[in-house]
A and B are shown apart, each in its own frame.
Chain A
């Protein structure tokens, strides 16, 4: 209980209108949307970051726990003050602070509601892709803390894919700015770590996010099938044909009957399952897309296929699906909505198993789920929430379902988070080392267990001052003179597998022998040489390729080119491009150098689903799982992307696959002056929807271009989309008075970028990053310094690559625009020239697992 005195102190600091403490009023903060409950001692309503700092300072002095709350729509108890404490409610910090139409980004307070942002963006031709079903109430802070996703995530990903920067108040009251509006800052991806951390690592006070161009057209259809299995096979076939619908939602017969009884939405209740599929893109493309999908579905025994011809018909199709929760609520006063992910190809099997379980326990269940990503939601009815025996049966089925998901390589939660609801299941999914690593991170960020205590981690995991910060590490940390002999000097050791690597790394640690990690050697060659090098050359080859589930697991030492060649046989690829043919997957992930095509497919951080990592203390962990939707615990894979091999050795990586684009086409526009080029590029940015590059280059080796500059615009995907987009782009150029452009089929801007980088041999290559809308400004500011030097400006991603210019000349202007400039190749006194907002945390992380700094020293800022 909070003493009167402490409460008075809080009110004095915040103003009493910002503090709620009447016991009756506090009743309304007992729950979120889950079944968890607990009464807070008070609720505070900060209006600005400074208020949050005040609150955290007060909490530290008073020794009180803080629980962040957005809209309280969470389904795992994340915002519930389980054991009392003070709720920090962000409902009054809900402003959109900046809207950048040209750069497609925003800055907002965490209490801004998902749909409010989305609607505003749509009124300006853009949108915010994460679309949880709770979007009309849920806040950005809650979306980020839970890494929310919705029906569109099959094609467009989840919240983490759109968050570029965060302002966070840490447990000690320090305010840090992580990431920002530029991409790929030279820092550990703490933004990625905070996303999905359920309010346990920091209080988010500002959000920087990306938006996409609103798709001009959408077409929706519904098809019914005899069984869930049949519908599942049809979904697989659609994916195998290289199609990527915007959504694929499935309902089984049980839920359709329940919905139909109350909503009368005309659902095919006689069928075993129904699919709602939506295709988006240009108007020219959605009809052929839907027709092709329809043909595939028919071949796979679809009956009763309905294609919406109007907005009303579309609404009607969705109406049934959206009435699911309401229909269930009418049947029973409560239901347990379980959330779990299996690899997509195992959906039907999992569902049949859950059905058997429910039958055995005498429970009524129905399903709606995102068939594209394997995220399954059994709704289990609870006719009498006070019947403890009944509840026991419900929880039993829930647990059995979790086990099934895990056994199949999935996750205990795809989108609702762990909170207090699922913490006891964490050990099902993670081994003790993996859990310990997460606990260590929590301790680093929040040593006194002040923020959302008790959440995520099972009860036996001690957090807080009393537990030793070293507890987890002791297990894996080698003692000097342990089994393995110290390595000889000047050796290159190619490890055979993760276990072998762990032994070797442990032995180096034991003898404090500095160790260099080498992949393809494209990068590590530039680092100071060390007597001992670990090579990933033997960690090569595909471990598992699941085109149907859209992922591949590959050894870290596999060269990208080899992987792509293998994948091409299945009509797939992983949308990565590297300038260096020898580059390995592990190296690419560690270095995080993104090609222009990230504007279309996301960056490396968005493609890495899971990774096996040997930590510098010798523990082997599997970070993440090879499913798109997994929010169980911290999103560890993010930490290793762009860490330049300083946090551990990546031995294997699971990457997201996408179907190879059916069409790829570029045009090249000759440009006389920089201003002209930037001006045209700015206008072209508005149409980017399926484009995979928008580059302005100088000194690129392009045949048939004799002007000093050239603009390159690439689009790829469905042929109709590519044609429509290029036509729009051409129209803009004509209106702007550009000369004739050159059309090149098959050419990708990313390849132009790659060959330009590969061609740099002796020169210094610099990568500068700023917010995309600032890039023209950066290019203009740099013009005098660059002189005749060659450069490539990646306009959509806010990246500018220079060859032969002095790094200092680039760095100054980039920093002035809140950006950075790093040296990619060549020598420089300071390769990074940047002090990340989270540098203290980065150092802390590094020290957690490599206190002596023997692992890959001098490879990165830390």
Chain B
């Protein structure tokens, strides 16, 4: 086999070669993959993507091919990791796709506009919640003024990323919470936890964070908000901005290890997966810091995981609604949390929980995927919405920010009469009703 020009160093490391060799191309992952579902083509399936990685590693692709066809199919991957769960041979797809994306990203020449947008989004906005909040207020104005209504009615945004971004905009509620002081435990104090409030969640879906805090308080936990915490870095990492992600990780580790908390609570499956699984890897070359990263990651708990073990107050208020639970990919496939959210939901009196046919199928949100690859994401979303519609659910329960926004858009597009709610919002609703 002759080597072509442009073989990338990242693809020839022993680690990468071993990761690739683990795949025995059995194809048992095909049906788990949302993009295979849309296209029905191998190169948009996990097995095909790995075959392409293998070809890249063997030097069978030239530079041009790498940055065009190869990159296209790699970028179409939602990184939902459903294939990793499906694979009987233990292929670590998460690592494979991460290495591949980083390798491609390092060499990519970005257009000016993209560079500006990225600079604003990933460096200026997401790491600075205050700036995101300012943006949120502007957008709130856009919604409250009726302008959004008008824009949607007139259908003036051309099909494309902008329209996609507009569509996932959730209804924004202005809110004010003081994070400089911990929120006290209600009733007998059982411990103190730190809350990771995230960036987009905090700015755009503040109500979810409110509910999270209140549910923790009700269950006897004092909730702290370490200052200096920042965006988890997942979005940066997944598009290959590794250095930036490492910087954010360091800031978070320092902020949360400053005090001795029982747990670090996250309410977004995607952020949780990064905080738990990826921080350690980021400091691979810095063993000293890696130990701190491990200490940090060990404490991170998803809210549903934490509550399932530490629930003191039974939700008593009746919520007579039909609900369905849409697994967050990163909660299910990366964090392996499947049972806990469901058992919490089953505690809510009156709630009729109906399983989806494919509860673990990605909704197409996947970080910024739904903005960049809006066409594919729309198809993935349409499949998801059809599954949801078939259950007749009035509430779609989610556990992740991206899913929240994506499914909000999905409900609108499909014209469903359903609400998207985070698990904790539903719990809080039941608690509130139980008090009456």
Contact = CB atoms under 8 A, between A and B. Distances in A.
B26 A28 contact: no
A115 B30 CA distance: 12
B26 A116 contact: no
Contacts of A30: 51
Contacts of B22: 329-330, 333
Interface string B16-56: 00100110111111110000100011110101100110010
A45 B43 contact: no
A73 B27 contact: yes
A134 interface: yes
Contacts of A333: 18, 21-22
Contacts of A29: 42
A673 to B, nearest CB: 40
Contacts of A25: 41-43, 69, 73
Given A24-B65, A73-B27, 6 more contacts: A25-B43, A25-B73, A27-B52, A91-B40, A329-B22, A335-B24
B192 interface: no
A334 interface: yes
Contacts of A6: none
B90 A73 contact: no
10 contacts: A24-B52, A24-B70, A25-B69, A33-B27, A45-B40, A73-B26, A136-B86, A137-B27, A325-B88, A335-B24
B61 interface: yes
A255 to B, nearest CB: 14
A288 interface: no
B359 to A, nearest CB: 13
A290 B10 CA distance: 55
Contacts of B28: 73, 134, 136-137
A311 to B, nearest CB: 14
Contacts of B88: 322-323, 325-326, 329
Given A30-B51, A113-B31, A330-B90, A325 B26 contact: yes
A515 to B, nearest CB: 51
B310 interface: no
A74 to B, nearest CB: 9
A28 B70 contact: no
A322 B48 CA distance: 24
B150 to A, nearest CB: 36
* Cβ-closest 6 pairs across A and B: A329-B89, A91-B40, A28-B48, A28-B42, A333-B21, A326-B88
A28 B40 contact: no
B330 interface: no
Contacts of B404: none
Contact of B51 (A22, A28, A89, A137): A28
- By size class, the interface of chain B is 20 to 34
A55 B86 CA distance: 34
Contacts of B86: 136
A124 to B, nearest CB: 13
Instruction: Specify which of B40, B45, B51, B87 lies most central, judged by the most chain A CB atoms within 10 Å of its CB.
Output: B40
Nearest to A22: B69
A326 B22 CA distance: 10
A33 B25 contact: yes
Interface residues of A, number: 38
Interface of A: 20, 22, 24-25, 27-33, 43, 45, 71-73, 89, 91-92, 94, 111, 113, 115-116, 134, 136-138, 262, 322-323, 325-326, 329-330, 333-335
A32 B27 contact: yes
A325 B26 CA distance: 10
B12 to A, nearest CB: 16
B218 interface: no
Contact of B31 (A33, A43, A115): A115
A136 B31 contact: yes
A94 B40 CA distance: 10
Contacts of B42: 25, 28-29, 72
Contacts of B89: 325-326, 329-330
A329 B24 contact: yes
Nearest to A135: B28
B60 interface: yes
Contacts of A115: 31
B51 A27 contact: yes
Nearest to B48: A28
A111 B41 CA distance: 13
Contacts of B30: 71, 137
A48 B394 CA distance: 37
Nearest to A113: B31
A33 B26 contact: yes
A115 B21 CA distance: 27
B61 A24 contact: yes
A116 B31 CA distance: 9
B90 A329 contact: yes
A31 to B, nearest CB: 5
A28 B27 contact: no
Nearest to A31: B25
B241 to A, nearest CB: 26
Given A32-B27, A329-B90, A27 B40 contact: no
Contacts of B40: 45, 89, 91-92, 94, 111
Instruction: Specify which of B26, B31, B43 lies most central, judged by the most chain A CB atoms within 10 Å of its CB.
Output: B26
B22 to A, nearest CB: 6
Nearest to B69: A24
B36 to A, nearest CB: 8
A322 B26 CA distance: 14
A33 B51 contact: no
Given A91-B41, A92-B40, A134 B90 contact: no
Contacts of A329: 22, 24, 88-90
Contacts of A22: 69
A333 B29 CA distance: 18
B176 to A, nearest CB: 47
A27 B48 CA distance: 8
Nearest to A385: B21
A27 B58 CA distance: 12
Contacts of A334: 21, 24
Interface string B78-96: 0000000011111000000
Nearest to A34: B25
A27 B31 contact: no
Contacts of A116: 31
A15 B178 CA distance: 60
Contacts of A137: 27-31
B90 A27 contact: no
Interface string B313-340: 0000000000000000000000000000
Nearest to A325: B88
A788 B89 CA distance: 66
A25 B43 CA distance: 6
Contact of A72 (B27, B60, B73, B90): B27
Nearest to B49: A28
Contacts of B31: 113, 115-116, 136-137
B392 to A, nearest CB: 15
Nearest to B88: A326
A263 to B, nearest CB: 10
